Amino acid sequence: MKNFDPADPIAKAPGITYQQVIDRDVDPPAPPVSRYHNPVDLGVKPIKASNYTSREHFLKEVDKVWLKTWQYTCREEEIPNPGDTYVFDLVGRSVLIVRQPDGSIKALQNVCLHRGRKLATHGGCKRQLRCPYHGFVWNIDGTFQHNPFEWDFPQIDQEEFGLPELRLETWAGFIFINFDPDAEPMLGLLGDYPEHMDHFRINDCYKALHLGKVVDANWKAVAEAFLESSHVVATHAQAVPYSGYDQVQYDLISDHVTRFVVPLGVISEAWSGPDHLSDEQRVRLALTNGSRGGPPGRDLAKSIKPGQTMRNYLAQMARENLEKETGYDFSDLSDGEFVDGFSYDLFPNTHIWGGFTVKICYRIRPLGLDHERSLMEIFLMKIKPKGTNPPPAQYRLLGPEEALGDAPEFNGSYLGGLLDQDVANMGPQQEGLRALGPDGELTFGRYTDMRCRNLHRMVDQYLAK
């Protein structure tokens, strides 16, 4: 792995770069988080199709990746009171996240040590952890409390019969666990990512939406749908007239964190479609379809000023909407911080975006131990309105035939329909990967697929440990 030479043309798509886009923005100037740029060269080696289709490969990932990496479970505000619990399932394992009387949080194995039943199948507030099968009881700190058949279990040492406890760390209200007791501390793996998210006020955010969708594809195929922006030209063609999908910047923050930044209100210089649209027409398209500039179905609230760019107009609309929604003054923020997509991922499966208008987040994990089906979760983080503390959104799993665009939780947002377009690729992609056979190979781009390549690079590193 090596850093790109900025003068190397392979690191630059046709036309201007993202850094040149923000050079052209009007004041205020772009902040350091936008100026950060660390592209790396991960080569052009083919990717094996069997990485997505092999049961044997997947079972190695279970042992070496899923049970060795930090996994986001829930938000701290979802378990505010002593005894509040959250059930987190991953590749056949089950964990209870439990708030303790002193305010601390523990991660406990969610399995009765008598006959193996799950202690809980859903969250709630519990005074004790009682197995519904035979009535064995543990305290909420995991220590053993009661055996209704104590006379028949001379082998049990009550001091040693506590529920196994897992590693747990928190960051910005997100609770992470790791099944590996020897794992490196999570924050040490994130590079500058926490500082980036501090800038985007992640600590002032609440979970405004949380939906799940079962997808018929390997978890990596699902994750990769959100690791590059090149698919906009075909999958989200409606956004092409106002999205700089070729001016996207790709960065490595650390081995475990990558990002892209995609500019809005910019015409891709690789665009070969109609070039007769005016900026006003492009703005109207963005408003009709919905974007970071505002929800769909809107019209121009005010005319575009002479000399004003499409990008600046959309940013002003986004700034005004956010100020009205939250009660805060955002006049010191640059245009890009409102309209550009700051997509970050934490290896292997958690994506928590930056930006100010709405932070799009994904969690992707295998559906149980099925290597060709995944649970894709979408949650949106928003800045809390001044003086309020909204409750976190409740999770809902969509039905098999229910489209994200039809989910009332999106409240008319353009994102539901956009995600349906992404999901439409996933099943056919998995079928195509299977059709390639065990020796089939994929050809990734050198720069635009950098984040996808890094996903495979990190899987390989963990498998080699």
Q: What is the pLDDT of residues 46-55, one digit of tens each?
A: 999 999 999 9
Peptide linkage before 28 cis (omega within 30 of 0) = yes
Contact 137, 145 (CB under 8 A): yes
Longest CA–CA separation in the chain, Å: 87
* pLDDT of amino acid 144: 98
Phi, psi of 257 (to 5 degrees): -135, 125
Residues 126-162 pLDDT 10s? 999 999 999 999 999 999 999 999 999 999 999 999 9
Helix axes 279-289, 310-326, angle to 10 degrees: 40
What is the arithmetic mean of pLDDT over 437-442?
Answer: 96
Q: How far apart are CA 208 and CA 82, in angstroms?
A: 23
Using the predicted structure, report yes or no on whether residue 402 has a pLDDT greater than 90. Answer: yes
* Pairing mode of beta strands 249-254, 257-262: antiparallel
Q: What is the pLDDT of residues 327-378, one digit of tens each?
A: 999 999 999 999 999 999 999 999 999 999 999 999 999 999 999 999 999 9
pLDDT tens, position by position, 269-325: 766 666 667 777 787 777 777 666 566 556 666 788 888 888 999 999 999 999 999
| 272, 335, 356 from 261: Cα distances, Å | 22, 13, 13
Q: What is the pLDDT of residue 295?
A: 63
pLDDT at 213 over 80: yes
- pLDDT tens digits along 159-187: 999 999 999 999 999 999 999 999 999 99
Query: For 85-101, what is the mean pLDDT?
Result: 98
Q: Give residue 275's pLDDT.
A: 66
**282 φ, ψ to 5°?**
-70, -40
pLDDT value for 272: 63
pLDDT-derived band at 95 (thresholds 50, 70, 90) equals: very high
Residue 10 binned pLDDT confidence (cut-offs 50, 70, 90): low
Predicted local confidence at residue 242, as pLDDT: 82
What was the pLDDT predicted at 413?
86
What pLDDT, on a 0 to 100 scale, did the predictor assign at position 243?
85
Angle at the Cα of 445 from the Cα atoms of 265 and 8, rounded to 5 degrees: 80
Query: pTM of the predicted model, to two decimals?
Result: 0.95
416-429 pLDDT per residue, tens: 999 999 999 999 99
Rounded to the nearest integer, the mean pLDDT of the chain is 93
pLDDT over 70 for what percent of the chain? 93
What is the mean pLDDT of the segment spanning 448-454? 97
For the beta carbon of residue 208, count every other beta carbon within 10 angstroms.
Answer: 18
pLDDT of residue 273: 65
Residues with Cβ < 8 Å from 256, sequence gap 6 or more? 189, 190, 191, 346, 347, 458
Predicted confidence at residue 416, as pLDDT, reads 93
Q: Which domains does the chain have, with CATH numbers?
A: 2-50+192-464 (3.90.380.10), 71-182 (2.102.10.10)
Q: Region 213-231: what's the mean pLDDT?
A: 97
Q: 323 in the Ramachandran plot: left (φ > 0), alpha (ψ -120 to 50) or beta?
A: alpha
Q: 129 by DSSP, 3-state: which? A: strand
CA distances from 360 to 172, 205, 207, 349, 355 (A): 16, 12, 10, 14, 9
Compute the average pLDDT of residues 385-405.
97
Give the angle 144-150-152 at the CA atoms, nearest 5°.
135
